[in-house]
Amino acid sequence: MTATRIQRAALAAVGVVVLPLALSACSSDDSSDSAKPKDTAAAAPKESQSTPDDAASTMDKPFGPACASVPATGAGSFDGMSTAPVATAASNNPDLSTLVTAVKKAGLVDTLNSAQNITVFAPTNEAFAKIPKADLDKVLADKATLTKILTYHVVGEKLAPAKLASGTYPTLEKSTLATSGSGESYKVNDSANVVCGNVPTANATVYIIDTVLMPKM
């Protein structure tokens, strides 16, 4: 065999080998691309979903117009009050200073702080201001009467907002108070409005109200 024929035979052999390899590579690339699943999920917009747990967590939060005046941070904030017993927590809220003074005069600080799982309807300073000053001073000076009034604001169980819709509950004063309402609007004895409700403390749930509740004397 001449040199020329040998070169031609060699080139032909290389072509036979290379061509199948090239075809194989092209076939592999095409099948790889077609086999890849299209990421339709990534392209589709995610829908926001609310769950029953989300709704429950919303209902667990404080509500009402007066909640806006609660400090965002510090001992008087919702977080701060949640770690302190109720009388101490109230003392850190400037809007409850008259109530705190009355509780101290009645000697009820330890009683309220040591009680477990109670509900306190806490009148604001403006609620006490509705009482004529002479009458308020007289009550503050009469420990027995003051104790009767203050303990009338305390229920011996924790009341969730749903329980305020229509209920009658015994108080530490030994008589009962009535609640009514729905959503974020509740009344106590049809006379006091809840202005900031469902406020947690370490041992109590607090509903801040705009009128002092008066038991039968």
Higher-confidence residue of 56 and 162: namely 162
> Rounded to an integer, what distance in angstroms lies between the CA atom of residue 100 and that of residue 201?
15
The predicted model gives 115-141 an average pLDDT of 97
pLDDT given for residue 16 in this prediction: 41
Mean pLDDT in the chain?
82
Q: Kindly state the tokens that stand for 8.
A: 């031609």
Write the pLDDT tens digit of every residue in 160-188: 999 999 999 999 999 999 999 999 999 99
Strands 192-200 and 185-188: antiparallel
Asked if 120 and 207 touch (Cβ cutoff 8 Å), the reply is: yes
Write the pLDDT tens digit of every residue in 83-121: 999 999 999 999 999 999 999 999 999 999 999 999 999
Asked if 104 and 87 touch (Cβ cutoff 8 Å), the reply is: no
The predicted model gives 30-57 an average pLDDT of 44
Tell me the torsion sign for CA atoms 153, 159, 161, 164.
negative
- Indicate the burial class of 97 (C-beta count within 10 angstroms; 0-12, 13-18, 19 or more): middle
Q: Name all domains of the chain by residue range, CATH numbers in brackets.
A: 61-209 (2.30.180.10)
Task: List the one residue out of 117, 107, 119 whose CA is nearest residue 155.
Answer: 119
| 3-state SS assignment for residue 16 | helix
